[in-house]
Amino acid sequence: MRPAGQIDNTALLIAGRLVAGEGPERMVIDPSTGAGIATLRDAAMVQVDEAVAAAERAAPGWAALTPAERARALLAVADAIDRHTPLLAGIEARNCGKPLAASRDGELPRAADVFRFFAGAARTRTDMAADAYLPGRTSILLREPLGVVAAIIPWNYPLMIAAWKLAPA
């Protein structure tokens, strides 16, 4: 069993494949101790371009999923967070310099809950258009994806804030 918070893999996920970063190398520091917890390589600009292109190729497939299929995918993410909470909480605690309990008992369950919430929301849209209140009028609400976006995640709650950005998409 590996120690909680040990970071063994810092690969990038591009087009469904794990690849080593080709950019500058950096050390990840536990701010509570000043100790290095991992060495990683940033993505090179060409890898960023490859990741964006791969996301653009994948976006139509995600948009074409039924609400039930999207809900299942989001529930699978929530279940994976639950399954890997001990490892993820250790990494999160060391990466952010926060108490293990804050990650394990707070942030990780809440991140999983965000994915579960939006899994339900994917299947139960209850929006009402403004003109639905007017006699003889009707509206159709069509939700269309914006496309590929970049999400900036701060240091203090990276998993939680990533969940807030990813799950609604």
The whole-model pTM stands at 0.84
CA 96, 91, 148, 111 torsion-angle sign = negative
Distance CA 57, CA 34 (A): 41
pLDDT of residue 1: 43
pLDDT of residue 134: 72
pLDDT of residue 146: 80
**In CATH, what is the architecture of 12-126+136-166?**
3-Layer(aba) Sandwich (3.40)
pLDDT of 89 above 70: yes
pLDDT of 139 above 80: no
Closest residue by Cα to residue 96 from 109, 107, 111: 107
- Where in the chain are the domains? 12-126+136-166
pLDDT band at 132 (very low <50, low <70, confident <90, very high): low
pLDDT of 45 above 80: yes
